[in-house]
Copies of this chain bind each other. A is one copy, B any other.
Amino acid sequence: MDLFAERGFDQTTVADIAARAGLTERTFFRHFTDKREVLFYGGQLLQEVMVAAVAAAPPDATPLAVVAAAVGAVAPAFAERRPGALVRQGIIEAHPELQEREVGKLARLAQAVADGLRQRGVPDPAARLAADAGVAVFRAAFAQWLASADRDMGSLIEECFDELIALAEAGR
């Protein structure tokens, strides 16, 4: 992360990273599947929390309510993390390949949530749509959270959910 911030992503070779960490290039690739993966390490935790929340939601809950609970469940993990998240986002936004990885992770997350919904009996395409809607809300809330200082991720998520529902109710 330090190296990426110092010289930029492509100006940093894996050999550089390994050297800075006092390891071999080969060892780096035993810990990270990818050079990009450095920036997304720990993202799996997000998915696990959300999937668990989907499974733990009350049986009679509406699909969107389940998804809202799942997205809300990850909000606490963002407290106090804004400074680090800002530099990370700065690096990602400067590199399309990194944005690809990011949305790829979110797509896998949506996939997992959709699977969880299907296990609760929600049929397609509703399961897929609800999961994708949840990820959309997460992305919108995350963007707001980065843009505005001192706003709570939890309340931003709630607001974005309300906004989405308002959009839908305005109809087409």
Q: Please state if A129 and B99 are interface contacts (CB–CB under 8 Å).
A: no
Kindly state whether residue A18 has any CB partner on chain B within 8 Å. Answer: no
Stoichiometry (number of copies): 2
Contact with B along A124-137 (1 / 0, CB 8 A): 11101110110111
Given A103-B107, A164-B168, A168-B164, A136 and B129 touching (CB < 8 A)? Answer: yes
Q: CA A107 – CA B92 in complex, angstroms?
A: 14
Q: Among B100, B133, B143, B172, which residue has its beta carbon within 8 angstroms of that of A125?
A: B143
Kindly state whether residue A58 has any CB partner on chain B within 8 Å. Answer: no
Q: CA A143 – CA B124 in complex, angstroms?
A: 10
Identify 8 residue pairs between A and B in the complex whose beta-carbon atoms are under 8 Å apart, listed by A's number: A62-B172, A63-B167, A64-B172, A100-B104, A125-B159, A126-B163, A128-B136, A132-B140
